[in-house]
């Protein structure tokens, strides 16, 4: 499963909507959030975390951080 800090990073990204916001919440750098999310994603691909939800989360935050919006709705 996810380590506590990886889970906190995922939850902070969900809460804030961005890696930058998650970094502020947890008091770490954006690079650290990237590392936590990469680790969580690797674990999800190994089947120990909900892969679909994590992939969607990462795709959504990537769009938000680039200033893009979803126009498919």
If one compares 63 and 21, the residue with the highest pLDDT of the two is 21
> What's the confidence (pLDDT) of residue 22?
95
Kindly give the residue spans of alpha helices, DSSP state H, lying in 1-73.
4-16, 19-26, 30-45, 51-65
Residue 68 has pLDDT above 60, yes or no: no
Q: What pLDDT, in 10s, does the model give residues 7-45?
A: 999 999 888 989 999 999 999 999 999 999 999 888 876
Overall average pLDDT of the 44-64 stretch: 67
pTM above 0.75, yes or no: no
Residues 29 and 46: their CA atoms lie apart, in Å, by 26
> What's the confidence (pLDDT) of residue 73?
40
């Amino acid at each position: 499963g996810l380590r506590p800090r990886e889970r906190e990073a995922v939850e902070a990204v969900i809460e804030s909507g961005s890696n930058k916001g998650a970094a502020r919440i947890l008091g770490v750098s954006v690079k650290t959030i990237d590392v936590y999310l990469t680790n969580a994603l690797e674990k999800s691909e190994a089947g120990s975390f909900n892969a679909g939800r994590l992939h969607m989360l990462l795709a959504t935050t990537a769009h938000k951080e680039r200033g893009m919006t979803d126009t498919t709705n």
